Amino acid sequence: MTVRNDRERRNDGGRKRPGGSAAPLSGAYDTALLDLDGVVYRGGVAVPHAVEALGAAREDGMRLAYVTNNALRTPDAVAAHLTELGVPAEAGDVVTSAQAVARLIADEVPEGSRVLLIGGEGLAVALRERGLVPVESADDDPAAVVQGYGGPELPWKRFAEAAYAVGRGVPWYASNTDLTIPAARGIGPGNGAAVEVVRIATGGRFEPKAAGKPLPPMHRETVLRTGAERPLVVGDRLDTDIEGAFNGGVDSLLVLTGVTDVPQLLAAVPEHRPTYVAADLRGLLVGQPEVVADGAGGFVCGGWRASVEGGALVLDGKPGEGSGAVDAMDAVRALCGAAWTAADAGAGVPVVGEALARLEL
Instruction: Look at the chain and count its residues.
Output: 361
Can you give the pLDDT at residue 10? 43
pTM: 0.85
- d(Cα 272, Cα 274) in Å, to the nearest integer? 6
The pair phi, psi for residue 134, each rounded to 5°, is -70, 135
Pick the CATH number of 6-69+215-288 from 3.30.300.30, 3.40.640.10, 3.20.20.140, 3.40.50.1000: 3.40.50.1000
Q: Domains of the chain: which residue ranges?
A: 6-69+215-288, 98-210, 290-361
Task: Please indicate whether residue 178 is annotated as part of the active site.
Answer: no
Contact (Cβ atoms closer than 8 angstroms) between residue 91 and residue 75: yes
The catalytic position among 12, 30, 35, 178 is 35
Can you give the pLDDT at residue 216? 86
Amino acid at 18: P
Can you give the pLDDT at residue 361? 61
Do the domains spanning 6-69+215-288 and 98-210 agree at the CATH topology level?
A: yes
What stretches of the chain show up as alpha helix (H) in DSSP?
6-9, 25-28, 50-59, 75-85, 97-106, 121-129, 156-167, 191-201, 216-226, 243-248, 262-266, 325-342
Q: Quick one: CATH architecture of 98-210?
A: 3-Layer(aba) Sandwich (3.40)
Contact (Cβ atoms closer than 8 angstroms) between residue 215 and residue 246: no
Can you give the pLDDT at residue 347? 84
pLDDT in tens, the chain (361 residues): 233 344 444 433 568 899 999 999 999 999 999 999 899 998 778 999 999 999 999 999 999 999 999 899 999 999 999 999 999 999 999 999 999 999 999 999 999 999 999 999 999 999 999 999 999 999 999 999 999 999 988 999 999 999 999 999 999 999 999 898 877 788 889 999 999 999 999 999 999 999 999 998 988 898 889 889 999 999 999 998 999 999 989 999 999 999 899 999 999 999 999 999 999 999 999 999 999 999 888 999 999 999 999 999 999 987 665 556 678 999 999 999 999 999 999 888 888 877 777 776 6
- Quick one: which of 214, 213, 267, 257 has its CA closest to 236? 257
Task: Please indicate whether residue 236 is annotated as part of the active site.
Answer: no
- d(Cα 109, Cα 134) in Å, to the nearest integer? 13
- d(Cα 259, Cα 275) in Å, to the nearest integer? 18
- d(Cα 112, Cα 62) in Å, to the nearest integer? 39
Can you give the pLDDT at residue 206? 97
The catalytic position among 37, 236, 239, 251 is 37
